[in-house]
Amino acid sequence: MADKEDPKKGKRSKGTSKEVCGYPLSIFFIVVNEFCERFSYYGMRAVLVLYFKYFLRWDDDLATSIYHTFVALCYLTPILGAIVADSWLGKFKTIIYLSIVYAIGQVAMAVSAIHDITDTDRDGTPDNMTFHVVLSMVGLLLIALGTGGIKPCVAAFGGDQFGDHQEKQRRTFFSVFYLCINGGSLLSTIITPILRAQNCGIYSKQKCYSLAFGVPAALMMVALVVFILGSGMYYKAKPQGNIMLDVCKCIGFAIKNRYRHRGNQYPKRKHWMDWAEEKYEKLLIAQIKMVLKVLFLYIPLPMFWTLFDQKGSRWTLQATTMNGDFGLLVIQPDQMQTVNPILILTLVPVMDSLIYPLIKKCGLNFTPLKRMTVGMILAALAFVCAAVVQLQIDKTLPVFPSASQVQLKLLNMGNKTVTVQLQDNEPAILAPAQVSDEYFVFDTDQITVLATAGSTTVHRGISFTKGKRQKLLLPLDLNKEWVQIDDLNSKPEEGNNAIRFVNGKNAEVNVSSAVANFGIIQPFHYSNYSLIKNGKVTFNLQSGSESCEYSRDFGFGSSFTFLIPNNLTFGQNCQEEITSAEDIKPNSVHMALQIPQYFFITAGEVMFSVTGLEFSYSQAPSNMKAVLQAGWLFTVAIGNFIVLIVAELAKLPKQWAEYVLFASLLVAVCIIFSIMAYFYTYIDPAEIEAQFKKVDDDDEDDKSKQQKAEIEMVKRDSVSSSEDDEKSK
Ligand SMILES: N[C@@H](Cc1ccc(O)cc1)C(=O)NCC(=O)O
Tens of pLDDT, residue by residue over 542-590, are 998 899 999 999 999 999 999 999 988 887 678 889 999 999 999 999 9
Q: What is the 181 CA–ligand 1 centroid distance (Å)?
A: 7
Residue 645's pLDDT is what? 76
Specify the pLDDT at position 7. Answer: 34
Specify the amino acid at residue 491.
K
Q: Which atom of ligand 1 is nearest to the CA of 311?
A: 9
pLDDT for the residue numbered 647: 66
Ligand 1 neighbours by CB, cut-off 6 Å: 38, 42, 178, 181-182, 185, 189, 337, 340-341, 344, 605
Structural domains in the chain plus CATH codes: 14-241 (1.20.1250.20), 281-398+588-683 (1.20.1250.20), 406-584 (no CATH)
Q: Which residues in the chain come in under a pLDDT of 50?
A: 1-14, 703-729
Report how far ligand 1's centroid is from the alpha carbon of 476 (Å): 59
The per-residue pLDDT for range 230-255, each reduced to its tens digit, is 999 999 988 877 777 888 999 999 99
- The Å distance, Cα 187 to ligand 1 centre, comes to 12
Nearest CA to ligand 1 atom 1: 341
Helix axes 209-229, 167-197, angle to 10 degrees: 150
For residue 657, give every residue at least 6 positions away whose Cβ sits within 8 Å of its Cβ, in sequence order, or none: 387
**By the 8 A CB rule, do 285 and 619 touch?**
no
Distance CA 496, CA 491 (A): 9
In this prediction, residue 682 carries a pLDDT of 92
CB 400 within 8 Å of CB 469 = yes
Question: What's the gap in Å between 38 CA and the centre of ligand 1?
Answer: 8
Residues 6+ apart with CB under 8 A from 328: none
**DSSP alpha helices (H): ranges in 161-264?**
167-197, 209-229, 243-260
Q: Which atom of ligand 1 is nearest to the CA of 344?
A: 1
State the Cα–Cα distance between residues 302 and 634, nearest whole angstrom: 8
Q: What is the pLDDT of residue 11?
A: 39
Atom 15 (ligand 1): residue with closest C-alpha?
A: 181
Residue 702's pLDDT is: 52
Pairing relationship of beta strands 546-554 and 535-543 according to DSSP bridges: antiparallel
- The alpha carbon of 301 and the centre of ligand 1 are apart by a number of angstroms equal to 17
CB atoms under 10 Å from CB of 594, counted, come to 25
pLDDT of residue 664: 96
Question: What CA–CA distance (Å, rounded) separates 692 from 443?
Answer: 79
The residue whose CA is least distant from atom 16 of ligand 1 is: 181
Q: Which residues pair with 448 in a beta bridge?
A: 461
Mutate to test the pocket of ligand 1, among 185, 315, 608 (most ligand atoms within 8 A of CB): 185
413: left (phi over 0), alpha (psi -120 to 50) or beta: alpha
Alpha helices per DSSP H over 592-684: 595-605, 611-618, 625-650, 655-678
Atom of ligand 1 nearest to the CA of 178: 12
From 49, 338, 340, the mutation candidate for ligand 1 (largest count of ligand atoms within 8 A of CB) is 340
